[in-house]
């Protein structure tokens, strides 16, 4: 569709709204921010980020709680947790495109398109879930090919097979979360995720210890929690007055134009997974070091802890994604620029507070995951390195959110490819096997990659032409717009 000749939906026009003397397509004449604007934006982002941090943490807590339960069954069982993530990561990251499409459509007041975009995402993720389920069933064989410990490979295979029922609800859940998040409707997410988390704790304890299912029970309890969350949000979206404009029911439009969704969804997945796989590579490499059980336990717990801490900048990044996408869709480049600058400030402040605290309690936190004193002591010794890595992740985490709001997923994938695979991993391998730093060397090397990633994304964000980004957002909205359709359900 030609943007110049396109006719917007009758629901609301794609207006070029004045904002600080700026019109969509014009130059951003006011480069400075008033103090009132800055405080208002910080307040808006905190209002959004707070609930999103809670939601992100509660969702991740399902895996965290499971690994804590099975971690107390023995040191060896910690490793199987990573088999789940290696298999899961690529399939579950396509939903990042929903943030771009839904966020910009909501800002442009094309409310009915949010439901269409969510349906497309659900369809794509469901179809991708079929080959992923097949891959999960061969986790043991994959670990064996990668020369992992035979016991570890067997336990990881069992865990992954029992996680197969969680594949489809997790994908659906992420689409629902982005659908509501981009409307700034975040408190229902806190409620539904909180209920699901409580159910998960009860089910995990019952299945792991009461009935003695061990790894199988921990995995199955995750699937039960996901399905509970999906059901609660489905009921809310269907019947809530706040979703009346954005959800008009299932329609044929949700099954069309999937290629345009995939053009953004695939880079979105790669952007996240190129980074994620580099960390998982560290866990696999740690199995080749002397005393592999200790090294893999340390890496598994460290990666898990970093993922927990990352929930905070991820929540801030999601808030920034929403604010940037909404403002670009509404034709407000000045406000989008302010949102990007504000979240950088919040990330630096949060990173300093959290990671200094982590260093202060480095002798204690390992006991949350293991009773092995050797493991806890090793974790304490690497905490300063982990804190440095976490701080850089704070910066890149929020900037990745800005990238999703702008639709920079393809650019972000290239940045991550260069940062981690040309710098981070080679440095990690060199420090570990050439200079014999052991597990610390793996983390020191990956810090080089995350630092480069953060600096490049920061330079891109600070030098962005926000007027041009607003124009691109308008073209993206016009290209995907369809008239409100009659619901099939």
pLDDT, average across residues 201-210: 89
374 has pLDDT over 90: no
Confidence of residue 397 (pLDDT cuts 50, 70, 90): very high
CB atoms within 10 A of CB 127: 11
322 has pLDDT over 90: yes
Confidence (pLDDT) at 261: 87
Confidence of residue 247 (pLDDT cuts 50, 70, 90): very high
484 has pLDDT over 70: no
219 has pLDDT over 70: yes
Q: To which residue do tokens 């020369």 refer?
A: 147
Confidence (pLDDT) at 31: 67
263 has pLDDT over 60: yes
Residues 446-459 have pLDDT tens digits of 999 999 999 999 99
- Annotate 254-318 with DSSP letters as a single string: GGS-HHHHHHHHHHHHHHHHHHHHHHHHHHHHHTTSSSHHHHHHHHHHHHHHHHHHHHHHHHHHH
Share of the chain above pLDDT 90, in %: 52
Residues 77-96 have pLDDT tens digits of 555 555 444 445 555 567 78
Confidence (pLDDT) at 2: 44
Query: 3-class SS at 22?
Result: strand
Confidence of residue 193 (pLDDT cuts 50, 70, 90): very high
Q: Is 199 exposed, middle or buried (0-12, 13-18, 19+ CB in 10 A)?
A: middle
Confidence of residue 6 (pLDDT cuts 50, 70, 90): very low
- Cα(420)–Cα(290) distance, rounded to whole angstroms? 25
Nearest alpha-carbon partner for 453 in 400, 385, 406, 383: 400
pLDDT, average across residues 43-66: 90
- Annotate 159-189 with DSSP letters as a single string: HHHHHGGGHHHHHHHHHHHHHHHTTT--HHH
Please say whether the beta carbons of 396 and 416 come within 8 A. no
Strand partners, 97: none
Confidence (pLDDT) at 72: 60
Confidence (pLDDT) at 196: 96
Confidence (pLDDT) at 211: 87
Average pLDDT taken over every residue of the chain? 85
């Amino acid at each position: 569709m030609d943007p110049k000749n396109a006719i917007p939906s009758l629901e609301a026009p794609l207006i070029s709204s004045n904002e600080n003397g700026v019109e969509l397509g014009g130059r951003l004449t006011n480069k400075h921010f008033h103090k009132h604007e800055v405080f208002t934006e910080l307040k808006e982002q905190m209002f959004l980020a707070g609930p999103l941090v809670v939601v992100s943490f509660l969702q991740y807590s399902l895996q965290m709680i499971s690994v804590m339960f099975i971690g107390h069954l023995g040191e060896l069982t910690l490793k199987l947790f990573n088999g789940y993530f290696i298999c899961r990561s690529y399939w579950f990251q396509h939903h990042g495109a929903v943030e771009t499409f839904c966020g910009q459509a909501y800002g442009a007041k094309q409310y009915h398109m949010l439901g269409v975009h969510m349906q497309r995402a659900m369809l794509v993720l469901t179809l991708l879930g079929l080959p992923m389920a097949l891959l999960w069933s061969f986790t043991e064989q994959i670990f064996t090919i990668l020369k992992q410990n035979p016991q570890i490979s067997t336990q990881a295979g069992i865990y992954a097979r029992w996680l197969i029922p969680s594949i489809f609800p997790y994908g659906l859940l992420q689409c629902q979360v982005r659908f509501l998040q981009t409307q700034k409707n975040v408190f229902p997410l806190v409620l539904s995720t909180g209920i699901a988390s409580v159910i998960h704790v009860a089910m995990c304890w019952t299945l792991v210890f009461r009935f003695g299912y061990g790894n199988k029970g921990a995995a199955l309890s995750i699937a039960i929690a996901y399905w509970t969350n999906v059901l609660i949000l489905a009921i809310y979206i269907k019947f809530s007055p706040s979703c009346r404009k954005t959800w008009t029911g299932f329609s044929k439009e949700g099954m069309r134009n999937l290629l345009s969704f995939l053009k953004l969804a695939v880079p979105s997945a790669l952007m996240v997974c190129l980074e994620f796989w580099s960390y998982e590579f560290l866990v696999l490499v740690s199995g080749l070091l002397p005393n592999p059980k200790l090294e893999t336990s340390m890496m598994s717990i460290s990666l898990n802890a970093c993922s927990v801490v990352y929930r905070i900048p991820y929540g801030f990044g999601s808030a920034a994604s929403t604010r940037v996408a909404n403002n670009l869709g509404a034709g407000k480049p000045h406000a989008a620029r302010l949102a990007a600058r504000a979240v950088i400030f919040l990330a630096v402040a949060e990173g300093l507070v959290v990671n200094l605290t982590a260093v202060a309690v480095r002798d204690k936190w390992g006991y949350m995951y293991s009773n092995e004193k050797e493991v806890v002591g090793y974790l304490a010794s690497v905490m300063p390195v982990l804190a440095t890595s976490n701080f850089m992740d704070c910066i890149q985490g929020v900037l990745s959110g800005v990238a999703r709001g702008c639709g920079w997923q393809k650019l972000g994938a290239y940045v991550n490819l260069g940062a981690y695979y040309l710098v981070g991993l080679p440095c990690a391998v060199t420090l570990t096997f050439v200079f014999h730093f052991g597990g610390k060397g793996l983390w020191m090397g990956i810090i080089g990659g995350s630092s480069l990633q953060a600096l490049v994304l920061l330079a891109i964000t600070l030098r962005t032409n926000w007027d041009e980004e607003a124009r691109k957002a308008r073209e993206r909205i016009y290209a995907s717009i369809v008239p409100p359709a009659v619901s099939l359900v």
